[in-house]
Structure 1
């Protein structure tokens, strides 16, 4: 069995306040975790949890997965990245991406236009800005005049792009240092890796529910699957992966406003492909299947059914 050289965890955990993560984060390196990756939607921002962690566990690599390219201006995004790179020198990875129309337009009052081009232009700007260059450039989707970081990082952090379908995956392989993806099965990884290329890092957030109660795990997983896979970008992703017909009834019920029926229409086999569940040892084995298929860095996203979050993190630690 191929062993993952990296083993990541998503923070923050919903059961803990940000300050209460201190003891858990400090223990992670001894448990075998190598990475912490943040998310950004409507909870904590992408940078604050990692900034705290940079001081609690200096052995860990830290990454944003992701900081949206629309919700901060280019200069502010560069400043946020530079500050975290200063707190975690040579241990920070800046992951950027489009996020979703709901987060960008509905929650942040910003037009969600030309997502591919906006991501490409932001990556190009960040390459220059984080290298300490003065940037005056009219990109196709925005213009910057006379920006230079006042505190450029000693070493510019690697840049990664959130990517689902071929165009963005190829962009990540061509202009960034790798891709970040999620909501895929281990069997989907070769298709994603084929578009990204063999050399770039592939980070995958993997949803994990470590319980032997399959009915409970599937019920919890269905709520998350419906919340994500009805979003247009994820719907298109799974159509590309060949899962469109199996998900179409759920998506149609969701669009009609029948949320209860939508959950019922998600097939068990789709749940079992997209969400890792079972005893902790079985979960670890399933996660390693992603690594064997081509994932460089598995990043666990625990789906909890209650109980002590620290015990869950312990149970999912690599052996």
Structure 2
């Protein structure tokens, strides 16, 4: 991290604690009190299965981490992401302080700029994120207790200089290799990877295309795909086979494990696994998490 990041450094969370594998799920984040028990049980099982980190999908607030932290003793819990447009810096700082006081050293504040389609006030997003980080500095949130959703070079360099590292979403091993070059060896690099536990190519790609459809409407992602060498043709009709096969791990156990390993070989410290199936995003795919834990050893 840069000198500015060091100046607000806290206790930090080690890469060993974060682990090589985690799970990313919208279902782990809920404001519904009736779901706290279900989420707590799932978190306890994730820890028992050996996952290092649970990533709360959607625009999560720090307090959404509490049911998971209260039911576990080692699991790291992180937001992925807290949108800077939906949660102001003062609220995020207060939430971080409350969560860290209750469960020291086990929460990461994952921040992101979201998308113009999702945030009415979306203007100069990178400048807004920089200002947000300065507010967090002033509120005492350590740089090494936050991570940034980063795709392009400027965002990746900001994650290097002002946070523990980067949590890219919907990327490829090639993006991971390029990100590692920009970040250097020390910062955390923890990409998300969609996993379709389906061996039939047509069925697997259909599930992946259904998941990808919304993201193909967001320029942040499509521009990144083009930087990676994909063309307009690849982005049509739900995504080409080439695009789908690069973005999603699907197939039998060996094929899925090989895709995950490709990210680690490219320089990732950790891979956040998102199960993609035909269930509602809010469902908790616990059987799939068990199968992944088994095939990844």
Settle same-fold status: TM greater than 0.5.
Answer: yes
Q: TM-score, normalised by structure 2?
A: 0.84
User: Structure 1: any 5+ residue segments left out of the alignment?
Assistant: 106-110, 132-154, 251-261
Residue 30 of structure 1 corresponds to 48
Q: 1:78-93 to 2 correspondence within 5 Å?
A: 78-93=93-108
Q: 1:198-217 to 2 correspondence within 5 Å?
A: 198-217=185-204
Partners of 2:284 and 2:162 lie apart in 1 by 41
Q: Is 1:96 paired with 2:114?
A: no
Secondary structure at the residue paired with 2:273? strand
Higher Cα radius of gyration: 1
Residue 177 of structure 2 corresponds to 190
Residue 282 of structure 1 corresponds to 255
- What's the CA shift for 1:297? 1.4
Secondary structure at the residue paired with 2:271? strand
- What's the CA shift for 1:88? 2.3
User: Structure 2: any 5+ residue segments left out of the alignment?
Assistant: 1-15
Secondary structure at the residue paired with 2:159? helix
Q: Alpha-carbon deviations, 1:176-216, whole Å to 9, x = none?
A: 11011011112321112222232210111111111112211
Among 3, 6, 13, the alignment partner of 2:27 is: 13
- What's the CA shift for 1:157? 5.9
- What's the CA shift for 1:69? 1.1
Partners of 2:61 and 2:139 lie apart in 1 by 19
Secondary structure at the residue paired with 2:168? strand
Residue 303 of structure 1 corresponds to 276
- Distance verdict in 2 for CA 1:157–1:189, change over 3 Å: closer
Conserved? CA contact 2:190–2:270, under 8 Å: yes
Q: TM-score, normalised by structure 1?
A: 0.78
Conserved? CA contact 1:98–1:162, under 8 Å: yes
- What's the CA shift for 1:35? 0.5
CA RMSD between the two structures: 2.5
Partners of 2:137 and 2:261 lie apart in 1 by 33
Conserved? CA contact 1:69–1:98, under 8 Å: yes
Partners of 1:218 and 1:168 lie apart in 2 by 30
Q: Is 1:313 paired with 2:283?
A: no
Conserved? CA contact 2:27–2:57, under 8 Å: no
- What's the CA shift for 1:91? 1.0
Partners of 1:297 and 1:281 lie apart in 2 by 19
How many residues align? The count is 272
Partners of 1:55 and 1:162 lie apart in 2 by 26
Among 116, 139, 148, the alignment partner of 1:161 is: 148
- What's the CA shift for 1:52? 0.5
Q: 1:257-276 to 2 correspondence within 5 Å?
A: 262-263=237-238, 266-276=239-249
Conserved? CA contact 1:12–1:49, under 8 Å: no
Conserved? CA contact 2:188–2:269, under 8 Å: yes
Secondary structure at the residue paired with 2:190? strand
Partners of 1:288 and 1:216 lie apart in 2 by 23
- Comparing 212-221 and 299-308, the one that deviates more: 299-308
Conserved? CA contact 2:198–2:252, under 8 Å: yes
Secondary structure at the residue paired with 1:103? coil
Q: Is 1:126 paired with 2:136?
A: yes
Q: Alpha-carbon deviations, 1:122-161, whole Å to 9, x = none?
A: 1122123125xxxxxxxxxxxxxxxxxxxxxxx8861211
